[in-house]
Amino acid sequence: MSGNTLGKSFRVTNYGESHGPAIGAVIDGCPPGLELTEQDIQFELDRRRPGTSRHVTQRREPDQVEILSGIYEGRTTGTPISLLIRNSDARSKDYGNLLDTFRPGHADYTYWKKFENRDPRGGGRSSARLTAPTVAAGAIAKKWLAEHFGVKIRGYMSQLGPIEIPFKSWGVVEQNPFYAPDLDVVPQLEAYMDELRKEGESIGARIEVVAEGVPAGWGEPIYDRLDADIAHAMMGLNAVKGVSIGAGFDSITQKGSEHGDALYPDGFKTNQAGGVLGGISSGQAITVSLAIKPTASIRTMRPSINRAGEAVDVQTLGRHDPCVGIRATPIAEALLAIVLMDHCLRHRSQCGV
């Protein structure tokens, strides 16, 4: 009902607020027997963590995960796995005016309209801090999918504002703070971000996520198509304004002979479909592309209103990501992993394989 749970068979329920004592997730439906340690999860959390380069928010959070339940002698038991991440660097005074005024482009206005009584500190429940539990849950799904099917889920940034980033190699994606697949472009990205920060501005980005090794058959048409559930999950990620699968919006100008991936005895040779046909995985790589909007919290003064409906000018101080897309890659990977694991378990329960 209230939208804090993702999945039907592998269910991830997210809790907490940006400046509360802790955030976390409860995962129900994870099969027993998976070897799981806090280190398995920590690896993915460290990839999302704030404060790791000058191009992201300087909030210093260790994002140390604690597993509270669901594991016995190093393996999942099939009971709910409860994950806890303590908030340790919350500076609520930086956000003092958020209770009374609304940042243009942020969720302050709509949360107030819907709930009235909301926690405004650091964006409260609407903060992207709540993507940390998603990443933690996604780490479990990634591990299970890799061990059972050899599924590999990876992502990268393909565009930062006006700068398109050509795909050169997976090998370099983890070697730079942008998750760029081409190291030659990194100095240009750094210079662009340094200039943007000086201006007190922010910018959007495009992120690609790819899942390889997914067998054919996952997805539940007609209402729970695999592509529909991927889009649902990705649109649930803060700041995502567009999701496309495979050729996506390029399909508009393609002819049928170009778009329809021909079948050969040894498989497909193209992947315009992005690995999903009729809402069911085709056995090809699942390719997802995300449009991420520019950060709402900027130093530049903007017109807004206060709770009394009076005109005010808003400037957001505090620590923010000038391009939220920079930290989005591991989160998008986690969401794809959660959806795929959920659909794998759902496919098993209906078709038995």
Ligand X SMILES: Cc1cc2nc3c(=O)[nH]c(=O)nc-3n(C[C@H](O)[C@H](O)[C@H](O)COP(=O)(O)O)c2cc1C
Binding segment for ligand X (CB under 6 A), chosen from 36-44, 259-267, 271-279, 316-324, is 316-324
Contact with ligand X (CB under 6 A): which of 324, 336, 344, 345?
A: 324
> 3-state DSSP: the chain helix, strand, coil percent, rounded to 5?
35, 25, 40
- 77 CB neighbour count, 10 Å cutoff: 15
- 205 CB neighbour count, 10 Å cutoff: 26
What is the torsional sign of CA 236, 239, 245, 248? Answer: positive
Binding to ligand X by CB under 6 A, coded x per residue (else -) over 29-58, reads ----------------------------x-
Contact with ligand X (CB under 6 A): which of 14, 101, 284, 297?
A: 297
**Shortest Å, Cβ 135 to ligand X:** 10
Compute the residue count for the chain: 353
Q: Is 238 annotated as a binding residue?
A: yes
Q: Work out whether 295 is an interface residue with ligand X (CB under 6 A).
A: yes
* Of 108 and 261, CB closest to ligand X: 108
User: What would the two tokens of residue 180 be?
Assistant: 């760029």
Binding segment for ligand X (CB under 6 A), chosen from 21-29, 60-68, 149-157, 291-299, is 291-299
Q: Work out whether 327 is an interface residue with ligand X (CB under 6 A).
A: yes
> What is the C-alpha separation between 205 and 334, in angstroms, rounded?
18
Burial of 273 per CB tally in 10 Å (0-12, 13-18, 19+): buried
* Of 61 and 321, CB closest to ligand X: 321
Q: Is 295 annotated as a binding residue?
A: yes
How many chain residues touch ligand X (CB under 6 A)? 20
Contact with ligand X (CB under 6 A): which of 119, 227, 321, 333?
A: 321
Binding segment for ligand X (CB under 6 A), chosen from 84-92, 133-141, 184-192, 293-301, is 293-301
Binding to ligand X by CB under 6 A, coded x per residue (else -) over 219-258, reads ------------------xxx-------------------
Q: Work out whether 328 is an interface residue with ligand X (CB under 6 A).
A: yes
Question: Which ranges constitute the DSSP H helices of the chain?
Answer: 38-48, 108-115, 131-149, 186-199, 226-235, 256-259, 329-351
Contact with ligand X (CB under 6 A): which of 107, 136, 151, 180?
A: 107
Residue type, 192: Y
Q: Is 121 annotated as a binding residue?
A: no
Q: How far is CA 98 from CA 92, 112, 121, 327, in A?
A: 10, 11, 7, 23
| Residue pair 112/308 in contact by the 8 Å Cβ criterion | no
| Residue pair 130/18 in contact by the 8 Å Cβ criterion | yes
* Of 215 and 236, CB closest to ligand X: 236
> What is the C-alpha separation between 200 and 301, in angstroms, rounded?
9
Binding segment for ligand X (CB under 6 A), chosen from 2-10, 181-189, 248-256, 292-300, is 292-300
Residue type, 325: G
* Of 65 and 326, CB closest to ligand X: 326
Termini Cα distance of the chain: 31
263: three-class secondary structure by DSSP = strand
> What is the C-alpha separation between 296 and 322, in angstroms, rounded?
9
Annotated binding-site residue numbers for NADP(+): 48, 54
- Positions touching ligand X (CB under 6 A) are 57, 106-107, 126-128, 131, 237-239, 293, 295-297, 320-321, 324, 327-328, 331
Annotated binding-site residue numbers for FMN: 125-127, 238-239, 278, 293-297, 319
